[in-house]
Amino acid sequence: MSKSMVVTVILLAIFLLCSPSSVAILLNKLQLPPPVIGPEALAFDRNGGGPYVTSSDGRIFKYVGPSEGFKEYAYTSPNRNRTICDGFSDFSNIQAICGRPLGLGFNHQTGDLYAADGYYGLVKVGPNGGKATQLVGPAQSNSTVFANGLDVDSNTGIVYFTIASTKFQPKDFPTALLTGGIGDNSGSLLSYDPSNNQTTVFLRNLTFASGVAVSGDGSFVLVSEYFANRIRRVWLKGPKANSSDLFMLLAGRPDNIKRNSRGQFWIAVNTVTLSSGVRVTENGIVLQIVSLVEEYGLEAASEVQEYNGTLYGGSLLASYAIIFTP
Ligand SMILES: *[C@@H]1O[C@H](CO)[C@@H](O)[C@H](O)[C@H]1NC(C)=O
Ligand SMILES: *[C@@H]1O[C@H](CO)[C@@H](O)[C@H](O)[C@H]1NC(C)=O
Ligand SMILES: *[C@@H]1O[C@H](CO)[C@@H](O)[C@H](O)[C@H]1NC(C)=O
Ligand SMILES: *[C@@H]1O[C@H](CO)[C@@H](O)[C@H](O)[C@H]1NC(C)=O
Ligand SMILES: *[C@@H]1O[C@H](CO)[C@@H](O)[C@H](O)[C@H]1NC(C)=O
Ligand SMILES: *[C@@H]1O[C@H](CO)[C@@H](O)[C@H](O)[C@H]1NC(C)=O
């Protein structure tokens, strides 16, 4: 039994003796409906509902509570065939038919949910869920426009998203990890403005652009370069507007970046053997490092997000999201 399970069991025992209202917080694994895996990114709606997570079979699921678990909310591929896609979890050509949503974020004003799909680019799901509308990127699954990270500027509604690479597709990621990823600089950072449908490329030649997060005041946006162990910052406002600089170097590969309510950022950082969440200030000063080796040792953590005082984690390869308090 792992340490976290022991802690959970002890907390559960305390819970059973005391307060019946806090059980959700004690469930440290939120299991996707088997055999679906890969909650790579998480989001919460404007009513605090969720987490919503992306998954290996092209669907976006919403966590509705401990008894019902995850329920289907939306899907990204216009051609999705349930017979072959529901429950799909491999890295093969089928993935291109089913879609592979990765980055996720709500516009809390409109209730729209945006997703970066590794095959279908930037897509939008209306407030009632269901089939997504494609906004930017390929209408066909064949293209190598590997959209990956996503964040919505809550003040402007502008959506920032990354193209990890134009050299390979998500299904090739396990190979890219071993071979092709290093040296590939075909990634980019883009924005989509829903008020005029305009797409802008901010930064090119990125080494596998994975995560993205806009700052609390909207003055800059961060983009992680997974295979380069670094995070770049693009200035949107002020004297340095339209220029970019190095935000921080890391001792591992940075994946998704999520801002917390205090304007700090949580970065999922992985090495071959270590998985962690790193909390930094808006100037890149490290405040906290949380080890996720027990939770996501082999699968690697793709996201750490702080929401309403609790931490949530996601992973491209694990079958569950996690809730934890370090
Ligand atoms: C935030 O957490 C508190 C308890 O810790 C809970 O009462 C409240 O409903 C939560 N808010 C949301 C939006 O989930
Ligand atoms: C979905 O896939 C199944 C199995 O390959 C096939 O029999 C069926 O015709 C497909 N449905 C559609 C609508 O393409
Ligand atoms: C993908 O490309 C192959 C070879 O170029 C082609 O045969 C196939 O029809 C394409 N599939 C889709 C969904 O566009
Ligand atoms: C943006 O695109 C949508 C869908 O294609 C369209 O309905 C809308 O009119 C467009 N808005 C603008 C401002 O061009
Ligand atoms: C930078 O990326 C562009 C495409 O976005 C490409 O045409 C160009 O060759 C790249 N430059 C370098 C130095 O790799
Ligand atoms: C940044 O680019 C935008 C759009 O090209 C331009 O309107 C703005 O003046 C630029 N700002 C600075 C400080 O160069």
- The predicted structure's pLDDT at residue 143: 77
Separation of CA 142 and ligand 3 centre (Å)? 6
Separation of CA 308 and ligand 1 centre (Å)? 6
Do residues 46 and 108 lie in contact, with contact meaning Cβ atoms separated by under 8 Å? yes
Task: Compute the average pLDDT of residues 141-163.
Answer: 93
pLDDT tens string 95-131: 999 999 999 999 999 999 999 999 999 999 999 999 9
Q: How far apart are CA 126 and CA 198, in angstroms?
A: 19
SS3 301: coil
Residue having the nearest C-alpha atom to atom 2 of ligand 1: 308
Dihedral angle at the C-alpha atoms of 159, 163, 169, 172, nearest 10 degrees? Answer: -110
Q: 260: which 2 tokens?
A: 């917390």
Task: Give the gyration radius of the chain's Cα atoms.
Answer: 18
- The predicted structure's pLDDT at residue 201: 94
Strands 275-280 and 286-291: antiparallel
Mean pLDDT of the chain: 89
- The predicted structure's pLDDT at residue 126: 98
Q: What percent of the chain clears pLDDT 70, i.e. is strictly above it?
A: 90
201 lines ligand 6 (CB under 6 A): no
65 vs 182, more confident: 65
| Integer CA distances (angstroms), 73 to 1, 76, 114, 146, in order | 33, 11, 13, 23
Nearest to 133 by CA among 113, 148, 147, 150: 113
Residue carrying structure tokens 């066909």: 140
User: Best substitution site from 92, 93, 140, 142 to test ligand 3's pocket, by max atoms within 8 Å of Cβ?
Assistant: 142
Q: 255: which 2 tokens?
A: 């994946």
- The predicted structure's pLDDT at residue 118: 96
Task: Compute the average pLDDT of residues 68-87.
Answer: 96
Task: Compute the average pLDDT of residues 67-71.
Answer: 96
183 lines ligand 5 (CB under 6 A): no
Ligand 6 atom with the shortest distance to the CA of 239: 13
Range of the domain at 14: 3-325
- The predicted structure's pLDDT at residue 216: 96
- The predicted structure's pLDDT at residue 174: 82
Task: Compute the average pLDDT of residues 130-151.
Answer: 88
Query: Can you give the CATH number for the domain in which 108 is found?
Result: 2.120.10.30
- The predicted structure's pLDDT at residue 176: 81
Nearest to 55 by CA among 325, 323, 302: 302
242 lines ligand 6 (CB under 6 A): yes
pLDDT tens string 262-312: 999 999 999 988 999 999 999 999 999 999 988 887 789 999 999 999 999
Nearest to 58 by CA among 109, 5, 123: 123
pTM score = 0.88
Give residue 46's identity as a one-letter amino acid code.
R
Which DSSP letter does residue 100 get? -
User: pLDDT category, 180, cuts 50, 70, 90?
Assistant: low
pLDDT tens string 194-224: 999 999 999 999 999 999 999 999 999 999 9
Total number of domains constituting the chain = 1
Ligand 6 atom with the shortest distance to the CA of 241: 13
Do residues 266 and 305 lie in contact, with contact meaning Cβ atoms separated by under 8 Å? yes
